[in-house]
Structures are given as structure tokens and as C-alpha cells.
Amino acid sequence: MISDFQGKTAVLTGAGSGFGLECARIGAKLGMNLVLVDVQQDALDKAQAELEAAGAQVLARKVDVSSAEQMDALAQAVQQRFGAPHFVFNNAGVGSGGLIWENSVKDWEWVLGVNVWGVIHGVRLFTPMMLAAAQADPAYRGHIVNTASMAGLLTPPNMGVYNVSKHAVVSLTETLYQDLKLVTDQVSASVLCPYFVPTGINKSDRNRPAEMADEKPTKSQLIGQAMSDKAVGSGKITAAQVAEMVFHAIGHDQFYIYSHPKALGNAQSRFDAIVAGTNPPDPFAERPEIGEGLRQALRAG
């Protein structure tokens, strides 16, 4: 667990908005060096200007986190500028909806590329740097936080690609935590599982690759987008509040970070069914009107 953040280095992907930007703002207040990573140049420039004005040392890089080559170059740049980071926030993510068989190969490649491979690259590249720093300095402490979702613990219908990507991040991070415990007491990990929080993830289409521009969304994808817009837009917990939770978790070596603990009731019923061997439960048991609305919309001519 990290107790003193002054002069420490944070690498944050998806730093131009949402959780990444809010964590960067907290890091700046705590006197951290900031490595801001985003695929959207204008958002990155704006974040860099704000955080440098707040007094932080900033390295800003436009990076597609799904690219091994771009992430390799990022890791080298971080090592040269600041040395091994102390806090790595593998946070970049995109949303996608629709019936699972209606997603194109490009849909799968885009969402898994950002949401899963982005985390894989962050873990693959920065963990060895952190472990080397820990070996060289008994006082070094490091922490990796990977952004999953409550969709990484549940299987809500009509958003299968996203669910698959986030389940992978939960599994990857749980395994990372266990693997780290085998080799060190100086580096740990957490998984962030937010529910509906206004972050801009429902506007992920702004960063879809150019080669996907000709793909027209299916009916189920349009319905999923509308539901996502409504749910995310009406979220009561802010990205800034979630960022506070992230820093609390880093300071207390808390693994699971939940923005909406009440949503765990659905996770409990899912795991009860897994243990009992019964069929998956109705995901809309607490809000049957939403499930009925979705069924009617999908079955309409």
C-alpha cells in the first residue's frame, strides 16, 4: 500500500476524461508526477494544460492502448523520464452493446483490443519495472489498478462484447493480485468495478477506428446505446467520487473497488446459481419493467 504520494509517479490510461482525469487531478494535488495517456489528442492536451497549471510534472502521450508497439514506446518513455511508476491505472475503455451474435469481427477486435489488450499491455510492461524497483529499494511501494465494471461480475443481456471484456479484466486482475503475493509484499493490485457513472464511456463511438465508419449499427445495438445513454446519464455517483475510492483502495490495499455496492445483490444471485448449478437468474428481477421494455423493443417488427 502506498501511504505517501508526494514525488511518486502515476501512469494513467484514459486520462483525458472520466476516472482517469479525476485520478490525475487527485494525483496532482498529492504532488505526484503524472503520465497522461489517451487516444484523443484534444482531451489529452486539455488535461495536460490543466494539470501542469496545477503544478504537476506531466508526460502526455497519445497512445492506442491496444497496440503493443505504442505501449512498448510508452513504457520506455516513462522509464526515461520518471523511472519505475508507483501507481499504474489501466483505465482506458470503450463501451459496446447489442445482441452477442450481431457484433462484427471489427466490433470484437476494437472492444477487446482496448478493454482487454490495453490492460494486458499495461500489466505486461509496468509490472516488471515495479518489481525491479521494489527489489532495488525496500521502501518502494507500487500499486496497479485495472478498470473493469460491474459487467465483469454480471452478464446483463444485450451487451455481450463489453461483458466478455470486463470479465477478462476481473480474472486478469485477481490473478495478478495472487501472482504478486507470491513474489513480493511491495507491489499490489486492485480491480475497479463501477456501475453506471457519468464518465463519457457511453460516447465511446467518438474513438471508433476509421475502418469501422461504414458499419451501420444493428437494431439491438441502437437499443443498447439508448439504454446506456439513459443509465450512464442518470448516474448519481460522480467520476470524482470514484477516483477518491481508487486512492483510498491504494492506501489500504483494498482489492475490490465498488461504486455501487448495492448492485452486488445481482452478483450474489449469479454466484448462487453457479454454485447450485441452476440456470442463470433473471437479470431484471429487481427492475422487471426494464426487462419487459427491452424484450418488447427487440421483438417488435
Residues 232-276: tens digit of each pLDDT? 666 678 899 999 999 999 999 999 999 999 889 999 999 999 999
Q: Which is the catalytic residue, given 162, 195, 256, 258? A: 162
Per-residue pLDDT at 202: 46
CA 79, chain centre distance (Å): 23
Q: Is the pLDDT of residue 77 over 90?
A: yes
Asked if 149 and 7 touch (Cβ cutoff 8 Å), the reply is: no
Determine whether 162 is an active site residue. yes
> Where are the chain's structural domains?
9-266
Residue 115 pLDDT level (bands cut at 50, 70, 90): very high
CB neighbour list of residue 280: distance below 8 Å, 6 or more residues apart: 155, 270, 273
**CATH homologous superfamily for 9-266?**
NAD(P)-binding Rossmann-like Domain (3.40.50.720)
Whole-number Å distance between alpha carbons of 107 and 103: 6
Q: Is the pLDDT of residue 214 over 70?
A: no
The share of the chain scoring above pLDDT 70, in percent, equals 92
Burial 284-300 (b: 16+ CB within 10 A, else e): beeeeeebeebeeeeee
- Note the pLDDT tens digit of each residue in 34-53: 999 999 999 999 999 999 99
CB neighbour list of residue 49: distance below 8 Å, 6 or more residues apart: none
- Note the pLDDT tens digit of each residue in 119-162: 999 999 999 999 999 999 999 999 999 999 999 999 999 999 99
Asked if 28 and 53 touch (Cβ cutoff 8 Å), the reply is: no
Label residue 148 exposed, middle or buried (CB < 10 Å: 0-12, 13-18, 19+).
Answer: buried
DSSP 196-233: S--SSGGGGGGG--GGGTTPPPPHHHHHHHHHHHHHHH
Whole-number Å distance between alpha carbons of 70 and 109: 17
Whole-number Å distance between alpha carbons of 240 and 58: 20
